[in-house]
Amino acid sequence: MEGDNILGESKAGYVLSNVAEVVERILTFVPTKNLFRIASVCRLWRNCARRVLRTRQRFTWLSASGSSIYEEHVLLRSMAQDLENICLLPQTALVMVNHENFSGSVSNRHRKARRCEEEVESDPVKKLKRLLPRSCDILGIVTPGIVVTPSGSPNSPPQEHEEGEAGYSLLFSAMDGITIRPFHFCKKTLSETAMEEAGLINNPDLKVVLLFDYDTYKSGGGRFLKKLLEPLSQSNVLIVGGQVEDVFSINTSCCSPGSFGAVGLTFSGSKIQGASVLIEQGINSPKAAEATIQRLKAANIPEKNTMGFMFACVGRGHNMYNDQRNVEADAFRKIFSNIPLLGFFGNGEIGCDRIVKENYTLSETDADGLQHSFTTVMSLVHFG
Per-residue pLDDT of the chain (384 residues; tens, 9 = 90+): 444 454 446 777 777 777 778 877 887 787 766 776 777 788 887 777 777 766 665 788 999 998 766 667 889 888 888 888 777 788 999 999 987 666 543 443 333 333 434 444 557 788 888 888 888 999 999 999 999 999 877 788 999 999 888 999 999 988 888 999 999 999 888 999 999 999 999 999 999 999 999 999 999 999 999 999 998 888 888 999 999 999 987 666 667 777 899 999 999 999 999 999 999 999 999 999 999 999 999 888 999 899 999 999 999 999 999 999 999 999 999 999 999 999 999 999 999 888 766 555 556 677 788 999 999 999 999 998
Q: Tell me, what's the pLDDT at 256?
A: 72
Between the alpha carbon of residue 125 and those of residues 31, 117, 158, 239, the distances in Å are: 25, 16, 26, 27
- 1.20.120, 3.20.20, 3.40.80, 1.20.1280: which CATH number matches 16-55? 1.20.1280
**pTM to 2 decimal places:** 0.83
**Side-chain half-sphere exposure of 238, counting CA atoms within 13 A:** 28
Positive or negative CA dihedral for 19, 88, 384, 154? positive
Q: Give the separation between CA 131 and CA 76, rounded to whole angstroms.
A: 9
Q: Tell me, what's the pLDDT at 55?
A: 66
Q: Tell me, what's the pLDDT at 364?
A: 62
Q: Tell me, what's the pLDDT at 106?
A: 41
- DSSP H helical segments within 234-370, as ranges? 286-294, 327-335
Q: Is 272 in contact with 177 (CB distance < 8 Å)?
A: no
**Please, where in the chain does CATH 1.20.1280 lie?**
16-55
Q: Tell me, what's the pLDDT at 361?
A: 52
Cα angle: 161, vertex 340, 215; to 5 degrees: 50
Burial of 381 (0-12, 13-18, 19+ CB in 10 A): buried
